Amino acid sequence: MDKILIIDDEKNIQVSLASILEDEGFKVYFASTGEEGYEKFLNLRPDIIFLDIWLPGIDGLETMKKILNDDKFQVIVMISGHGNITTAVQAVKDGAYDFLEKPLSLEKVLLSVKKGLSYKKVLDENKRLKTIISQNTDDLEDTKSLKKENTGQIQFEIDNAEYLKKQKTVERSNIFYGIGLHSGEKTGMSISPLPVGKGIRFENISSPGYIPARIEFIDRTNYATSIMKDGLEAKTIEHLMAVLHAFGITNLAIKITKEVPIDDGSATKFCKFIRDSGIVEQDDYIPEIVIKEPIVIGDESEDGKFIKVEPADVFTVKYTTVYPEPLGIRSHEIVLNSEEDFENDIAPARTYGFVSEFNKLSELGLVEGGRLNNFILIDNGKVLNTELRFENEMARHKILDIFGDFYLLGRPLRAKITAQKTGHSDNAEMVNAIKEKYLT
């Protein structure tokens, strides 16, 4: 029976939480102060702790630090009736798994417990994996499928062990916040590890449920990539997805308000964010999608608009932009031999747009968060507001978008992608074509 410790000085909170959790089969314990809660933690070693921020004596944040100093893997859900975004951010930065506002709802409490227990399993798995010596994988040559009995775990059929990649997640929760490029609103994002086979999923800070980061749930591709499911939205996901693609992250929960923060328009800080969260290889594999023959969408002529995928030994992307001089025709190609290739060559390339499009974007309710420091502004072939980081920065940014959009396949891809004058909608069309040919 899973043990849950409630540290809160309000009796009505203790009673209401206990009634919810005991009905679900959990063993519930109580403490009314930080000191008492710490002692019970030491004696009980609970699976999850619900911890109020406002406590007599040492407050909840200090109590959490004491607990995590003793066991950095303890799952703690902070609760408060007087919280704000700053408090929530601080709690998560200090090591809390989740943050709930009072009054507590049955739905949110049970969702937090379910996810917290899943998170604990990942932590336990990570601790175990760190003690295992690298295993010889030669015997995988005869493996024909990877299947798990766990409910909800994705199953894969494979033909060749050469195409297997280790599944990966992050070691710990982390938080990132800023503004949304298209909404213009302050937005935050937290990430948490997931077990093998769960995939990448987007969640909403205040609503239950999640959206799998897959092409089936694509909603909009005009100027950014957004996905939707059962009323939940995740907007402008392509830069973060590109980093997860390059770093090989396959299982991750991403909680946002509605839009992923834009930062400076590039993916550089997302790379640091994922590295700071710790990258963990998991005890299972995911097969690549291996392109066997070319697929072309559009006109491959010298001045045409097209996107093509074809066989390759390593994931490779080449993109050509065609704009008036002095920007002119620019190309870039990356062969992804390591995440550092992406981090150095592609991640720094920023979002860009044209003055001529701004009225249209504004009418659509987009680019409200565009700032002089997070958006390359172009007019008549000239950059108005910044110095380019690369002569071909626009081509590199288009490659960044391709990395993100193509990861909506839900699996790594072994192919070369060549594109010219294309955007998110064309990427989505090609991803759907690959899905129809190789995943159905």
Which residues are known catalytic residues? 424
Is-contact 127 72, C-beta < 8 A? no
Q: Tokens 């004491």: give the residue.
A: 66
Q: Helix 60-70 crosses helix 34-44 at what angle (to 10 degrees)?
A: 20
Is-contact 267 239, C-beta < 8 A? yes
Distance of alpha carbon 220 from alpha carbon 140, whole angstroms = 40
Six token digits for residue 66: 């004491």
Six token digits for residue 378: 């172009």
Closest CA to 368 of 202, 224, 238, 204: 224
Is-contact 299 322, C-beta < 8 A? no
Burial of 127 (0-12, 13-18, 19+ CB in 10 A): exposed
DSSP state of 141: G
Distance of alpha carbon 171 from alpha carbon 193, whole angstroms = 6
Is-contact 280 170, C-beta < 8 A? yes
Distance of alpha carbon 149 from alpha carbon 9, whole angstroms = 42
Distance of alpha carbon 327 from alpha carbon 377, whole angstroms = 12
Q: What's the sign of the alpha-carbon dihedral 31, 33, 39, 42?
A: positive
What is the side-by-side order of every strand in the sheet holding 200-204?
Answer: 174-179, 186-193, 252-256, 200-204, 211-212
Q: Which residues of 17-49 are buried (b: 16+ CB within 10 A; e: fewer)?
A: bbebbeeeebebbbbbbbbbbbebbeeeebbbb
Is-contact 114 20, C-beta < 8 A? no
DSSP assignment of 20-69: HHHHTT-EEEEESSHHHHHHHHHHH--SEEEEES--SSS-HHHHHHHHHH
DSSP assignment of 382-426: EE-SS--SSTTHHHHHHHHHHHHHHGGGSS-EESEEEEES--HHH
